[in-house]
């Protein structure tokens, strides 16, 4: 049976680039995003590349609904080999930034990642020596004015990755994060396809909980 990857936070940037990389390495791909219309377009793109793909529409901030989608993925595909959480609200802070705004960001950036780990970190994933990889960012260590919400979230996400890396290792599950230390797509170095190589390498090596792409 072919190995499989689930990418939560599919999109024309890093999400789909990671999925393409693994797909070209003979993984079956499952893409998760909020918009079914966009997913339909992504499905066509992957099929044209000869990559087996399935799509699932989900809002990660609606936990009961998100859980049902994960249940459906597991029913359709079984336990995947790799899960990537690539959801993040990366826009500049609202002005003024309210507590409600902060909570909304946190729900997408962190709580969704936590629920992803909780749902996918099954005995079946452990039996396959599966992995869960989170997309991190440099704001976790280097806060920047105007990105208070994102900075807090990336710091929390990094903490989550390290804690779960330690907690789930005995279960046979690898948890890690790729810290992207720049703006995705801003130049050739930060081209999504180049960054995707770091996700592949981290999943292959698994010798640390974090890789910094800088």
Q: How many CA atoms lie within 13 A of 175 on its CB side?
A: 24
| Domain 4-213: CATH architecture, name and number where available | 3-Layer(aba) Sandwich (3.40)
Residue 125 and residue 19: Cα distance in Å, rounded? 19
**DSSP labels, 36-63:** HHHHHHHHHHHHHTT--EEEEE--TTSH
pLDDT digits (tens, 9 = 90+) for 24-61: 999 999 999 999 999 999 999 999 999 999 999 999 99
User: What is the mean pLDDT of the segment spanning 76-82?
Assistant: 98
Any idea where the domains of the chain sit in the sequence? 4-213
Rounded to a whole number of angstroms, the distance between the first and last alpha carbons of the chain is: 36
Report residue 94 CA to chain centroid gap: 24
Residue 103 and residue 172: Cα distance in Å, rounded? 33
Q: What is the pLDDT of residue 169?
A: 98
pLDDT digits (tens, 9 = 90+) for 156-181: 999 999 999 999 999 999 999 999 99
Instruction: State yes or no: pLDDT of 1 exceeds 80.
Output: no
Percent of the chain with pLDDT over 90: 99
Q: What is the pLDDT of residue 41?
A: 98
* Whether pTM exceeds 0.85: yes
Residue 209 and residue 164: Cα distance in Å, rounded? 9
The number of residues in the chain equals: 214
Helix (H) or strand (E) holding 155: helix 148-168
Q: What is the pLDDT of residue 12?
A: 96
Q: Count Cβ atoms within 10 A of the Cβ of residue 189 and give its class: 0-12 exposed, 13-18 middle, 19 or more buried.
A: exposed
């Amino acid at each position: 049976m072919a190995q499989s990857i689930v990418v939560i936070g599919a999109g024309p940037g890093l999400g789909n680039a990671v999925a393409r990389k693994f797909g070209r390495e003979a993984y079956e791909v499952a893409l998760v995003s909020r918009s079914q219309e966009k997913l339909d377009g992504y499905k066509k793109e992957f099929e044209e590349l000869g990559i087996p793909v399935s799509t699932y529409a989900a809002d990660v901030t609606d936990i009961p609904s998100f859980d049902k989608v994960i249940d459906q993925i597991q029913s359709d595909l079984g336990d995947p080999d790799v899960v990537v959480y690539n959801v993040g609200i990366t826009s500049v802070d609202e002005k003024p930034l309210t507590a409600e705004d902060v909570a909304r960001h946190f729900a997408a950036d962190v709580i969704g990642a936590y629920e992803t780990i909780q749902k996918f970190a099954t005995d079946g994933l452990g039996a396959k020596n599966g992995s869960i990889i989170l997309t991190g960012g440099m704001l976790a260590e280097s806060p920047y004015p105007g990105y208070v919400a994102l900075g807090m979230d990336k710091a929390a996400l990094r903490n989550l990755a390290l804690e779960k890396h330690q907690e789930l290792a005995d279960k046979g599950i690898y948890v890690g994060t790729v810290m992207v230390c720049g703006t995705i797509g801003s130049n050739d170095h930060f081209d999504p396809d180049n960054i995707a190589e770091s996700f592949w390498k981290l999943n292959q090596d698994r010798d640390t909980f974090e890789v910094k792409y800088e």
